[in-house]
Structure 1
Amino acid sequence: MSPHDPASQPAGDVVIIGGGAAGLSLAHRLAAPAYPAVTLVEAPNGPLRPPERTWCYWDRGTGVLDAAVTATWSLLRVHGSDGRAVTVDPYPFTYRMIRSADFERLVHSRLARSPNVRVLRATAQEVRDTPGGAEVRCAGPGGRTLALPARHVFDSRPVRALPPARTRLLQHFRGWFVRTPTSRFDPAVADLMDFRVPQPRHGLAFGYVLPLAPDRALVEYTEFSRTPLTTSAYEAALAAYCRDVLRLGPFAVESAEQGVIPMTDARFPRRTGPAVFRIGTAGGATRPATGYTFAAVQRQSRAIAAALRCGRAAVPPPHGRRALAMDAVLLRALDTGRIDGPRFFTDLFRRVPPERLLRFLDGATSPAEEWSIGLRTPVAPMLRTTLELPFLPRRPAPDDPRTGERHR
């Protein structure tokens, strides 16, 4: 971070707005002499800075973010509504958790050593197109207005309203970090979906358990539906899950986190001006049918860095067209109730080889592999949904999408 007055310095070639997963990931990729000068605009401490949150993803081998990884799991488990569990080994993948505070420390430590990146604590208020670039106007320290000129701007701030869509669901949750007086968890196994919870009239619900130690875990209640719950409703659902399903006995809640992310077939524009690009969830990085975002943000950041190194500015689509088309079908089938959500996801883990399934969820499978996976889903309702989608209009979103960053 520069020790000098930020208002007295030029912004450089690139301005990144936002210090969440997307903004920090891109700054991290650009923190090298081979890249242009970068200014990362982060909101100051206060209501605009989100609370600590958790991001999860699967990956193979080692990576540049390993130092920020809190925990990993070599086995994944799904519990069906009938109580039967399926446990899979997705080798060579492992499931990984990163806490946002650890991620921020890792990235900021590198940015502090980088000669081409500076961090500015300010509130971005407006982005204007200018000849040959753009200008970011910010409220800086002491309320001063700062004008940051740049050749390219990458904006990760949440959109004010979701784009028009045919299907619009929300993945909403509340999670507790719990501690038990005795060993109650298996640190090798992550429970991705536990459908042994009461199902809502519309959508689906499941538990999510990430053990951090034999006596510690993140336990979450999640729904895929159209409307979030109240905090008290999440608390009641979590208490019932811990008591009646997990049978934890006495436990202490050390902290909690809560959030909402969009699950939609809306088309997120990745460019909003000649030199202004959207990244992260705002740029369509969230996988519509699962809510996973962090891995796509890493792919997107690598692609942007590669383009800038070649003298170009571009934000490639974080998900392929086939993946988005399949997600649109699944979302519509879930929203209409044509498929049983708990059974659908449980059968995927029971019938599809785990390594192939995770590649499928990352959009890295071939058409032949996707065809074989499709044959293991309810063919008739999925086909009916596929045929009707082209004739459905895309409708504007409500004014308050209540979306933001969360686990995945």
Structure 2
Amino acid sequence: MPGTHAGGDARLVLDTEVAVVGAGAAGLSLAHRLCAPGPGGHPPGGGVVLVDAPAGPLRPPGRTWCFWEEPGGDWDDLLVRSWDRLRVRGPDGGSVTVSPSPLRYKMLRSDTFEQAVRARLGTAVTCVEATVRAVRDRPAGAEVLGVTPDGRRLRVRARWVFDSRPPPCPPPARTALLQHFRGWFVHTGRPVFDPSTAELMDFRVPQPRHGLAFGYVLPLDADRALVEYTEFSPAPLHPAGYDRLLRDYTHRVLGLGRFEVTGTEQGAIPMTDGRHRRRTGRAVFRIGAAGGATRPSTGYTFAGVQRQTRAVAAALREGRVPVPPAAHTGRARAMDAVVLRALDTGRLDGPSFFTGLFRTVPADRLLRFLDGDTRLLEDFGIGLRTPVLPMLRTAAELPALPRRPVRAHRREGNRP
């Protein structure tokens, strides 16, 4: 266990092998992979300290994470629901329904995940709440400095520090969009949803001038669902704007009639071609969305977090320098840069692009492609099913475009 002592001037000092800042998907996943019982877990000899933000504005509200993988994943016992059929609808209402077997689309709630992981960790990890003021190198490792809710000054001295907090300034980028959304958990009191099929993209909503917008429906039962309005565009909307668009979608498009809103969620996920720094000091690293785990062209993050934290845990067990790997290949990030630029310039019609991919590419291959898990020849074949000339023009201009500072937007949630 980490060494602990409190100074006479209201200080809390902890000595440990590994410090993890932030107890979201990335921080908890890393702690779990380091300390879970069984062959995969191997607690570092000096212990693990997890520093979480106190309740308040620095701690995000409960949110939904979605991802796809085969049955039997690490978190299957925590899932709210999973689906083996996905549907995409074009602006004209024409739909394509696919079955991406052996993959399934999975839905996980952050509060369920947090409670379960904390219970699994037990006393293997020392958890402390504090507002972190600084993370920096020190001669024999690194340290985390902060203030606890009762006003004590916190100092965590560690061999390695992994920071999952969003950086104060996003990395410069040539294109910077946001995936911003608001969702309602609805209860209709009568069967109106198809529980077997997740509505991944429904483009029967008004489209913005730049980017794209779609509805998103995850049926939890025949009379319950998460219904969201999602937009890829440069800036978020006012909250009243989301509610107006959700009312239009649920009534005009879906025809739900009367229903009760039992909960809400809202978020904004950066979608940029910025280069995330995963190492910020000799012994300080960024993980999760802060370390580039978000797939730029889709906003999905949870699967990238799992790959990244699994690799970090393996490096620590094997005594290697635990630099978090890139969650997505260089080829995938290059393709994402082209897609984002093409969407932002209007050269690419987003609804036609995504609907066409689901209509012409085998579903399991397409989901692997969106997760960066396809081979070069598979990527080439998928590329031929996109608007080739606009994409080539965009790819040709990217090297000459400067990377500019990106405005930071407050992240209120993270569906993927």
Counterpart residue identity of residue 27, structure 2 = G
Q: Residue type of the partner of 2:414?
A: R
Which of 200, 214, 229 is the aligned partner of 1:206?
Answer: 214
1:24 to 5, 22, 28: 28
| Alignment map for 1:144-293 (pairs within 5 Å) | 144-293=152-301
CA apart distance, 1:11: 3.0
Shift of 1:403: 3.5
Secondary structure of the equivalent of 1:304? helix
8 A contact 1:162–1:401 mirrored in 2: no
In the other structure, the counterpart of 2:121 is: 111
Whether the aligned pair in 1 keeps the contact of 2:81 and 2:107 (CA below 8 Å) is: yes
2:43 counterpart of 1:39: no
2: CA distance between counterparts of 1:288 and 1:169? 9
The residue that corresponds to 1:129 in the other structure is 137
User: What's the offset of the Cα at 1:34?
Assistant: 2.2
Provide the residue aligned with 1:332 in structure 2: 341
Q: Give the equivalent residue in structure 1 for 2:87.
A: 77
Paired AA for residue 12 in structure 1? T
Q: Residues 154 and 277 of structure 1 are in contact (CA less than 8 Å); yes or no, is this contact kept in structure 2?
A: yes
Whether the 8 Å CA contact 2:60–2:412 is kept in 1: the answer is no
Give secondary structure in 1 for the equivalent of 2:116.
Answer: helix
> Is residue 2:383 matched to residue 1:374?
yes
Report SS of the residue matched to 1:196: coil
| Structure 2: distance between partners of 1:314 and 1:395 | 26
Structure 1 segments of 4 or more deviating over 4 A? Answer: 4-9
Aligned-pair CA distance for 1:8: 6.2
Structure 1, unmatched stretches of 5+, are: none
Q: Which residue of 2 aligns with 1:407?
A: 415
The separation in 2 between residues aligned to 1:151 and 1:404, in whole angstroms, is 31
SS at match of 2:205: coil
Report if the CA contact (8 A) 2:61-2:412 is conserved: no
Q: State the distance in 2 between where 1:149 and 1:167 align.
A: 38
CA distance in 2, matches of 1:12, 1:106: 24
Q: Is the 8 A contact 2:193 2:222 kept in 1?
A: yes
Within the candidate set 366, 379, 386, 2:395 is matched to: 386
* Match in the other structure for 1:101: 111
Match of 2:347, SS state, is: coil
Aligned partners of 2:237, 2:290: CA distance in 1, in Å?
A: 23
The 5-angstrom pairing of residues 290-301 of structure 1 reads: 290-301=298-309
Which structure 2 segments of 5+ residues have no match? Answer: none
Q: Of residues 290, 293, 310 in structure 2, which corresponds to 1:302?
A: 310
Residue in structure 2 matched with residue 51 of structure 1 by the alignment? 61
Deviation at 1:66, TM superposition (A): 1.4
Q: Is the 8 A contact 1:34 1:309 kept in 2?
A: yes
Q: 2:16 aligns with which of 12, 15, 35?
A: 12
Residues in 2 aligned to 1:76 and 1:358: alpha-carbon distance in whole angstroms: 11
Shift of 1:10: 3.3
Counterparts of 1:26 and 1:11, CA distance in 2 = 19
How many aligned residue pairs are there?
404
Tell whether the 8 Å contact from 1:158 to 1:404 is kept in structure 2 after alignment: no
Q: Write the letter of the residue equivalent to 2:397.
A: E
| Farther off after superposition, 85-94 or 197-206 | 197-206
1:180-236 deviation per Cα after TM superposition (whole angstroms, max 9, x unaligned): 021011111000100011111221110000000100000000100001100000000
What's the TM-score, normalizing by structure 2? 0.94
Contact 2:176 2:234 in 1 (8 A): yes
Whether the aligned pair in 2 keeps the contact of 1:111 and 1:118 (CA below 8 Å) is no
Residue 364 (structure 1) aligns with: 373
Task: Give TM-score scaled by structure 1 length.
Answer: 0.96
Structure 1 residues 345-394: Cα deviation after superposition (integer angstroms, max 9, x where no partner): 00000000000001101111010000000000000000011111111111
Give the Cα separation in 1 of the matches to 2:380 and 2:81. 34
**What's the offset of the Cα at 1:106?**
1.0
Please tell me the root mean square deviation across aligned C-alpha atoms, in Å: 1.5
* 2: CA distance, partners of 1:284 / 1:74: 28
